[in-house]
């Protein structure tokens, strides 16, 4: 019988191929956490205390493994002059971009996004600090940032960025280098707290760019960013929305510890491509199943994900294929987490038996 583990102990055991008490559980809850604590999104994000308190309350109420503090896909844009619209029930969206061209991006004062100048970033740092202080070193507090290419689309329209990939590749590379170096510096104060890191990079999806463009404009910058995160003693999760089938083999070279898959990607296929190199996370459909489905639908899909990937050589974490919608009912949230806990416990026992047999 394995004694109860802390989330950090559990992740370390998973990634190192050791026995564990149960498989980890991911609950991608950035927009819904406030609702589950009786607030709207804006109220939950109002201060460092409100961010930390809602995360702590939800974490202590349920059984998942990772608390999350989100810089936001548009966080860099907010810091550097893009005008954002805030909504009570979702993350903000860009209303007016700081730049109309890649040349204008290169003229920005990127130092304004550093923690000493960006009050939003400092607020997120304070929230992480409180979570770590309250919950102790065994908890996993994650700071989520966008990938460099995705961050660039918070400064100028995605359409213009995608066009510039073809017409002005040199300038795009200059901007991506600046953003990558900025993010490497940005995460260091968080790393000193013992925080782990999550990279979300939806624009890197081959639903938007070609596999060739991924290799040219994403792979090397993500590799550099992940390597720096590793020097900060953090395991790293990378999530790319949409179809990533054609770049699964490229994910290995990035060096990420855990790859979070969109629901569109079959876990069995991902296991075949990545399983001996990367831990997999996913990929219960957040809209079709968790939001729109019945408790029975949720249990069935959670079990299907476990069936496909519990024996992934580098480990498996059950989780949604993307963020869970704000309108999801509490009943469905609790059905999802209950199904995850049951599967995480039973499949860990199977995994432990196999590990004992091969010793």
Average of per-residue pLDDT across 251-262: 97
Task: Tell me: do 216 and 318 sit in the same domain.
Answer: no
**Tokens 């596999």 -> residue:** 211
Task: Let me know whether 221 and 344 are in one domain.
Answer: no
Looking at the fold, whether 232 and 294 belong to one and the same domain comes out as no
Whole-model pTM: value is 0.96
Shared domain check, 218 and 103: yes
Label residue 18 left, alpha or beta by phi (over 0 means left) and psi (-120 to 50 means alpha).
beta
Residues 316, 218, single domain; the answer is no
Look-up of token digits 């204008």: 104
pLDDT reading at 328 higher than 90: yes
Q: Is residue 344 part of a domain?
A: yes
pLDDT of residue 150: 98
CA 133 → CA 61, 170, 272, distances in Å?
A: 18, 44, 40
The predicted structure's pLDDT at residue 60: 95
- Looking at the structure, tell me whether residues 122 and 168 fall in a common domain: yes
Q: Is residue 26 a contact partner of residue 317, using CB atoms and an 8 Å limit?
A: yes
Confirm whether 143 is domain-assigned: yes
Can you give the pLDDT at residue 63?
Answer: 83
Question: Are residues 17 and 42 located together in one domain of the fold?
Answer: no
Are 263 and 232 found together in one domain?
Answer: no
Mean pLDDT, residues 119-141 taken together: 98
Q: Is the pLDDT of residue 17 over 90?
A: yes
Q: Which residues contact 294 (CB under 8 A, 6 or more apart)?
A: none
Given a contact cutoff of 8 angstroms between Cβ atoms, the answer to whether 139 and 7 are in contact is: yes
List beta partners, residue 160.
none
Instruction: Quick: pLDDT tens for 69-107.
Output: 999 999 999 999 999 999 988 889 999 999 999 999 999
Tell me which long-range contacts 247-254 makes (C-beta under 8 A, separation of at least 24). Answer: 247/206, 247/211, 247/214, 247/215, 248/273, 248/274, 249/273, 249/274, 250/211, 250/214, 250/215, 250/219, 251/278, 252/277, 252/278, 253/219, 253/223, 254/219, 254/222, 254/223, 254/226
Statement to judge: residues 262 and 351 lie in one domain: yes
Q: How far apart are CA 61 and CA 294, in angstroms?
A: 22
Q: Which residues contact 325 (CB under 8 A, 6 or more apart)?
A: 31, 32, 286, 287, 290, 291
190 & 274 share domain = no
Last residue within a domain, chosen from 202, 236, 270: 236
CA distance 126 to 47: 9
As for how many domains the chain has, the answer is 2
pLDDT at residue 341 greater than cutoff 80 = yes
Residues 177 and 300 in one domain: no
Is residue 279 within 8 A of residue 285, CB to CB? The reply is no
Per DSSP bridges, beta strands 83-87 and 66-70 are unpaired
141: domain CATH number?
3.20.20.210
Pick from 205, 236, 267: which residue ends a domain? 236
Residue 348: inside a domain:
yes
Written as one string, the DSSP assignment of 262-311 is -TTS-HHHHHHHHTTT-EEEEEE-IIIIIITS-HHHHHHHHHHHHHHHTT
Query: CA–CA separation, 294 vs 312, rounded Å?
Result: 28
Q: Which domain holds residue 19?
A: 1-27+257-324+338-359
Query: What is the Cα–Cα distance from 194 to 186, expressed in whole angstroms?
Result: 14
Give the residue from 203, 236, 269 where a domain finishes: 236
**Residue 267 is assigned to a structural domain of this protein:** yes
- Same domain for 23 and 36: no
- Select from 27, 36, 37, 31 the least CA-distant residue to 88: 31
Residue 252 in any domain: the answer is no
């Amino acid at each position: 019988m394995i004694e109860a583990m802390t989330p950090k102990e559990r992740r370390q055991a998973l990634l190192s191929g050791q026995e564990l008490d149960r498989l980890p559980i991911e609950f991608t809850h950035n927009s819904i956490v406030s609702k589950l604590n009786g607030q709207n999104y804006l109220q939950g994000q109002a201060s460092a205390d409100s961010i930390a308190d809602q995360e702590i309350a939800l974490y202590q109420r349920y059984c998942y493994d990772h608390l999350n503090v989100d810089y936001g896909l548009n966080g860099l844009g907010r810091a550097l002059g893009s005008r954002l619209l805030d909504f009570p029930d979702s993350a903000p969206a860009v209303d007016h971009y700081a730049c109309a061209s890649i040349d204008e991006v290169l003229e920005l004062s990127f130092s304004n996004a550093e923690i000493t100048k960006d009050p939003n970033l400092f607020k997120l740092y304070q929230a992480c600090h409180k979570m770590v202080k309250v919950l102790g070193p065994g908890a996993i507090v994650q700071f989520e940032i966008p990938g460099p290419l995705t961050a660039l689309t918070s400064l100028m329209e995605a359409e213009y960025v995608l066009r510039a990939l073809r017409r002005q590749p040199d300038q795009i590379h200059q901007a991506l280098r600046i953003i990558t170096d900025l993010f490497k510096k940005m995460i260091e104060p968080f790393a000193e707290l013992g925080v782990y890191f999550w990279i979300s990079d939806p624009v890197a999806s081959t639903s938007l760019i070609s596999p060739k463009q991924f290799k040219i404009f994403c792979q090397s910058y993500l590799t550099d960013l992940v390597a720096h995160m590793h020097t900060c003693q953090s395991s790293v999760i990378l999530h790319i929305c949409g179809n990533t089938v054609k770049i699964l083999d490229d994910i290995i070279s990035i060096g990420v510890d855990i790859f979070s898959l969109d629901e569109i990607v079959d876990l069995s296929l991902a296991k075949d491509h990545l399983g001996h190199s990367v831990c997999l996370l996913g990929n219960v459909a957040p809209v079709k199943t968790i939001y729109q489905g019945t408790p029975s639908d949720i249990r069935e899909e959670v079990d299907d994900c476990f069936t496909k990937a519990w024996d992934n050589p580098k480990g498996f974490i059950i989780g949604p294929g993307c963020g869970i919608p704000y309108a999801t009912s509490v009943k469905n949230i609790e059905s999802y987490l209950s199904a995850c806990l049951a599967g995480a416990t039973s499949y860990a026992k199977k995994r432990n038996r196999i590990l004992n047999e091969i010793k």
